[in-house]
Structure 1
Amino acid sequence: MAHQPDLFAPAAPAVEHQTPIPPGWADLPFFQDDWPRIAAALAQDPRPVLPAHERRFHALALTPPDSVRVVILGQDPYPTPGHAMGLAFSVAPDVRPLPKSLANIFREMKEDVGATLPNGDLSGWARQGVLLLNTHLSVPAGVIGGHAKLGWEKLTGQVLARVSRRPTAFVLWGRPAQAQGKHIAPGDHLLVESAHPSPLSASRGFFGSRPFSRVNDWLDARGDAPIDWGAPA
């Protein structure tokens, strides 16, 4: 009797080497020097890895180098299954309740520029040139910082160095993000630094920091179009 496939067998793990690399960024040394090793480590991790492998470089895909006007730097993807979608601080449209950091971001945005969004998907920002980049682009489900030692910071540093070749607004919330500022090349940039929007620190300098209006004021002074922070995905 011919072997019948087990319809209830678990799906094969995602093959990390099939993760699409956005062409605009593919010449960064990271993708030749470091990505093969990291991809192998992710493929061998027995735990579910977030976000899904096809979303690993989603931030870079939505915002090519020549489109970047603003960088908002996060730390890890959300470790809760179903939340991480490859954009820093962003979640899938159906996620309720919102992660607390994102809820605090929306609170500050409403008080700063009066803008609101219908859900937690920040793709509308990314399509306007806001690079929503995490310092680490993967996390094991449920384990905050679980991939912090894989070497993702090399990609972060190279991306920041690339986009800072021309004037860019950098929004760095919290000390880990601010530590990455060493990769920003000198230039006519805007640096917006404050406490992280996490509930643990938002009241210690994030609330009232007005990052959204500060970015738009800087863009306007340069004759550039402001970001429509209320633009839906």
Structure 2
Amino acid sequence: MPGLPPIPGPWADLPFFSDAYPAIAAQLTGPDILPPAEQRLAALDLCPPEACRVVILGQDPYPTPGHAHGLAFSVEPDVRPLPRSLNNIYKEMQDDLGGAPVNGDLRFWARQGVLLLNSSLSVPAGQAGAHAKLGWSALTRQVLARLSDRPRAFVLWGGHAQKFRDAITGDGHLILASAHPSPLSARRGFFGSRPFSSVNNWLRTQGDTPIDWIGST
């Protein structure tokens, strides 16, 4: 199927992949669609449902070529300077935990069970938000519904992410909602929200291992 990589097996039964995937794939042609096709479902591939403990919901991939690689807010390790939203995330982490990762590659979070999911999984280069109405939101809702089957931590940064809150059902979840880390909104409630320690404190109450957010272990 052109434009999209193979479906990660543990998620393949979601209705999205039979109902909407073919139509979206048909529109994802040309070299200016980011991230590259083979990385588009990387977040789901790295974090199957049974391993997922935390969900961080973003909006759409970075529209700068060479930045997005399929995980919300993450960039390739050689990207400098960091995107401004990620830089603000690291500022908040520094205040919250006393440190931050050495680069912008967050795949090590995914390997600990943090699903870094964008609500749109594609973007044309230089056109932030251009695929917001392409149909990806159905996948977001189905993923959140699937992950509502047992208590998990859900981190919803900004009004766009918070529109999906109703897709999270059931009891016992930790749901953290605050302003987005974007420079336009970070000072309106993101800075000072301490999401990283809040998630780890909650995981401890569940008898679970905290996330190593900094990469110190």
SS at match of 1:16: coil
What amino acid does structure 1 have at the position aligned with 2:22?
Answer: P
Alignment of 1:96-107 (within 5 A): 96-107=80-91
Q: Does 1:20 align with 2:12?
A: no
- The root-mean-square deviation of aligned C-alpha atoms, in Å, is 1.4
Alignment-derived partner of residue 194 in structure 1: 178
| Post-superposition offset of 1:107 | 0.6
| Alignment TM-score, normalising by the size of structure 2 | 0.97
Q: Is the 8 A contact 2:35 2:123 kept in 1?
A: yes
Distance in 1 (CA, whole Å) between partners of 2:100 and 2:179 is: 21
Paired with 1:57 and 1:232, the residues of 2 have a C-alpha distance of: 27
Shift of 1:47: 6.0
Structure 2 letter corresponding to 1:129: G
Matched residues in 2 for 1:200 and 1:230: separation? 25
Change (3 A) 1:150 1:232: farther
SS at the partner of 1:133?
A: strand
Kept in 1, the 8 Å contact 2:39–2:69? The answer is yes
Report if aligned partners of 2:3, 2:27 keep a CA contact under 8 Å in 1.
Answer: no
Equivalent AA in structure 2 for residue 172 of structure 1? L
Measured after TM superposition, the shift of residue 15 of structure 1 is 3.1
| Secondary structure class of the residue paired with 1:164 | helix
Query: Aligned equivalents of 1:166 and 1:112: distance in 2?
Result: 27
Q: Give the match for residue 109 of structure 1.
A: 93
Give the aligned partner of residue 59 of structure 2.
Answer: 75
* Offset from partner CA, 1:76-126 (integer Å, 9 cap, x none): 100000000100000000100000000000010111012321100000100
Unaligned runs of 5+ in 2: none
1:89-100 correspondence runs (5 A): 89-100=73-84
Q: Highest CA radius of gyration, 1 or 2?
A: 1
Identity %: 64
Report the count of equivalent residues.
217
Separation in 2, partners of 1:145, 1:117: 27
Q: Which runs of 4+ in 1 moved over 3 A?
A: none
Residue equivalent to 2:214: 230
- Confirm or deny that 1:211 pairs with 2:211: no
Q: Which amino acid aligns with 2:128?
A: I
- 8 A contact 1:171–1:193 mirrored in 2: yes
Whether the 8 Å contact between 2:60 and 2:121 is mirrored in structure 1 is yes
Contact 1:165 1:187 in 2 (8 A): no
Deviation at 1:188, TM superposition (A): 0.4
Please state if 1:38 is matched with 2:24.
yes
Alignment of 1:162-181 (within 5 A): 162-181=146-165
Distance (Å, rounded) in 2 between the aligned partners of 1:16 and 1:80: 19
Q: Deviations over 1:25-76 (max 9, x none)?
A: 0010000111001000112xx5610000000100000000001100000001
Q: Distance in 2 between matches of 1:149 and 1:209?
A: 30
Instruction: Tell me by how many angstroms 1:232 deviates.
Output: 7.2
Q: Give the TM-score, by structure 1 length.
A: 0.90
Q: Does the residue aligned with 1:83 lie in a helix, a strand or coil?
A: coil
For 1:229 and 1:148, how far apart are their aligned partners in 2?
29
**Contact 2:53 2:152 (8 Å CA) reproduced:** yes
